[in-house]
Amino acid sequence: MNATRLTEKDERRATRRAEREAAHQRARERGETSLTRLPTEGLSIPQIALATIEKIRQLAPQLSGDYLDIGAGNGELIDVVTRTFPVKPSACDYRDDLMAIDGIRVDVADLNTQALPYPDASFDLVTCTEVIEHLEHYRSTLREAARVLRPGGVFVVSTPNVLNLRSRLRYLFFGFFNMFGPLRLGDDRYHSTHGHINPVSYFYLAHSLSVAGFHDISVSVDKLQRRSWIPLSLLWAPIRIVAEFSIRREKREKLQTINDENEPFVRDMNRLDLLLGRTVVVGCRKR
């Protein structure tokens, strides 16, 4: 029985690899060199979707109106959001053949080179989950999100948490954060790092959002990594001590890189949940 089960599993894997390679080949024939996935592959895993819903609830419990999902993929997040809030969804992505929800049209835009194809102040909610790590210029996308939001509108963005403890240790010993790694030269197709080219830590994400015109910025995580508890028990005290010393020093020195406005974001980087969390989920409102 075990041998039969193993064979069936291997067959499914082989079929999946063949389907994925066929999708990649079609993308190459179209001249596309960016990340490719199958329409059935989830682009926003359930924990991130649930954390996004919770962040929206915190900022606007009675949210309604027009909703845009940037990097909509197969529509997994749209499905969850529209079941939770009475919103009218729109979708934008770099290709339109991933969407699995009937009746949702995908507006195509390459966010590395193009603006969002919507007028100013078009939406009450914008989400952008697991997208900015794929972009060359993520700050432009955040400014675009602010542009298409109405005043007071809610924006939720997520990205891999490159400053969790496991990622910090990987960077210390290998020079690459978790979920990021060496990229092949010469093309930017699907690699072992899943197309991740831009590691953005929480501080720089919060800073970018503030500059783009957002406020009420808050961060949470999708899930805690159990394997981080052992190293945390050894490093928690040193991290707290060194972080506090560094904050005080930065505030005293000539450049004074830390002030009352950005100090909360600096301190958040060493919060317990951010040291253990896999993905940062950041919510804010447009001024």
Record the tokens describing residue 133, joined without a space: 């790590």
- Give the dihedral of Cα atoms 105, 82, 281, 148; nearest 10 deg: 50
CATH number of the 46-225+278-286 domain: 3.40.50.150
Contact at 8 Å (CB) between 132 and 195? no
Cβ(56)–Cβ(125) under 8 Å?
A: yes
For position 187, what pLDDT does the model report? 60
Question: CA 169 to CA 188: how far, in whole Å?
Answer: 26
For the entire predicted model, the pTM comes to 0.83
> For residue 12, what pLDDT is reported?
75
Q: Which residues of the chain have pLDDT under 50?
A: 32-44, 190-193
Q: What is the pLDDT of residues 235-247, one digit of tens each?
A: 999 999 999 999 9
Look at residue 18 in the predicted model and tell me its pLDDT. Answer: 73
Contact 56, 283 (CB under 8 A): yes
Q: Which CA distances in Å does 157 have to 44, 192, 248, 257, 280?
A: 12, 23, 30, 25, 8
Backbone angles phi, psi at 29, to 5 degrees: -65, -30
* Segments making up each domain of the chain, as ranges: 1-31, 46-225+278-286
Q: Pairing between strand 149-160 and 106-108?
A: unpaired
Q: Give dist(CA 152, CA 30) in Å, integer.
A: 40
DSSP 222-287: S-B-GGGHHHHHHHHHHHHHHHHHHHHHHHHSTT----TTTHHHHHHTT-HHHHHBSEEEEEEEE-
Q: Which residues of 54-67 are buried (b: 16+ CB within 10 A; e: fewer)?
A: ebbeebbeebeebb
66 backbone dihedrals φ, ψ, rounded to 5°: -95, 140
pLDDT tens digits, one per residue of 267-285:
999 999 999 999 999 999 9
